[in-house]
Amino acid sequence: MKAFHYTRASSPADAAALAAKTPGAKFIAGGTNLLDLMKLEIETPAHLIDVNKLALDRIEETPDGGLRIGALVRNTDLAADKRVRRDYAVLTRAIVAGASGQLRNKATTAGNLLQRTRCPYFYDPNQPCNKRKPGSGCAAIGGFSRQLAVIGTSKACIATYPGDMAIAMRLLDATVETVKPDGATRKIAIADFHRLPGDTPHLDNTLQTGELITAVTLPKPLGGKHFYHKVRDRASYAFALVSVAAVVQKDGTGRVAFGGMAHKPWRVEAAEAALPKGAAATARIAFAGATPTHDNAFKLPLAERTLAAVLSEARG
């Protein structure tokens, strides 16, 4: 871990301004992923701006019937919120399917959105990785890629987005609220927040330098039955091979988003129209043009079967 300076921020705008003018600055909140990566010098901030004391830890109802979740609301608290459990059960389910109780007590809403890939080649600084070191190559292509992406990949990167919470956020059409170094705020639709790797896999998302997430808002509840089905090799404390977030209405219509498949939460709105026709029809559209490797081709039938299980449960 490189040495760094440490400052506690006093307000979101000050934090953003400080980050913009300090070379190599990063925000730290829960730190559960950032410190992990700093120990391996995959992240090497020269300055950490601790945002933990900012008052961004509340969950409030919005005028249009949704919820505004402060950036620093811990995963545990978000999952345990009575309104979330009642109206956005898919979000609670996604959160409690991830990590461990200890990590969820620390990890924050904003930080979780910024979680970086678990690609083992990204995690090994001896290996070429375009995400870690742009232009160095991708050792995962042709390597051990069982966990990695099957769609939306590029010649430069086949990493997956590893998180669970964001899959539900994507399903719910959440909006990410930020403050920029000049104090201006902006709203980013979750669909536009995470990027595909393309030829810039080192960029995970569309935040600008110094831009700080202040909240995530959820639109009004969708009703319906909520599912988050996470498939993994061990029963807990593991990243998804495939996960399916879904909200299914009585008439069989609904929404579905997938985790473990791509560099971002994978939701194809056009595929959702096929939900009443079943999992195969939906998966055919959702995963058209997939580019799996030998190691991870199983994810395509697995995703379809997992969706079938969800739809079966929704009917049942």
CB atoms within 10 A of CB 216: 28
In eight-state DSSP terms, residue 88 is -
Compare residues 34 and 188 and give the one whose CB is closer to another protein.
34
Q: Is 288 in the site for another protein (CB under 8 A)?
A: no
Compare residues 85 and 195 and give the one whose CB is closer to another protein.
85
Residue 185 CB, nearest approach to another protein (Å): 26
Q: Which of residues 132-161 bind another protein (CB under 8 A)?
A: 133, 135-139, 141-144, 146, 155
Give the separation between CA 161 and CA 260, rounded to whole angstroms: 7
Size of interface with another protein, in residues (CB under 8 A): 88
The piece of 64-72, 108-116, 177-185, 287-295 that touches another protein (CB under 8 A) is 287-295
Residue window 12-31: x/- pattern of binding to another protein, with contact defined by CB under 8 A: -----------xx---x-xx
Compare residues 189 and 288 and give the one whose CB is closer to another protein.
288
Give the separation between CA 48 and CA 187, rounded to whole angstroms: 24
Q: Nearest CA to 154 among 166, 138, 143?
A: 138
Q: For the residues of 183-221, what is the DSSP string, one character each?
A: S-EEEEEHHHHB---TT-TT--B-PPTT-EEEEEEE-S-
Edge-first strand listing for the sheet containing 225-231: 225-231, 242-248, 254-259
Q: Which of residues 177-206 bind another protein (CB under 8 A)?
A: none
Compare residues 128 and 219 and give the one whose CB is closer to another protein.
128
Q: Is 237 in the site for another protein (CB under 8 A)?
A: yes
SS3 content of the chain, % helix, strand, coil (to 5): 30, 20, 50
Q: For the residues of 110-152, what is the DSSP string, one character each?
A: HHHHTPPP--TTTT-TTS-BTTTSTTS-BSSTTS--TTS-SSS
The piece of 171-179, 210-218, 237-245, 256-264 that touches another protein (CB under 8 A) is 237-245
Q: Is 291 in the site for another protein (CB under 8 A)?
A: yes
Residue 129 CB, nearest approach to another protein (Å): 9
Residue 246 CB, nearest approach to another protein (Å): 14
Among positions 55, 63, 64, 233, the unique one binding another protein when judged by CB under 8 A: 233
Give the separation between CA 140 and CA 310, rounded to whole angstroms: 31
Q: Which of residues 51-110 bind another protein (CB under 8 A)?
A: 52, 76, 79-80, 82, 85-86, 89, 92-93, 96-97, 99-103, 105-106
The CA distances from residue 311 to 31, 155, 250, 287, in Å, are 37, 34, 11, 18
Q: Which of residues 238-257 bind another protein (CB under 8 A)?
A: 238-239, 241
Cross-strand pairs, 228: 245
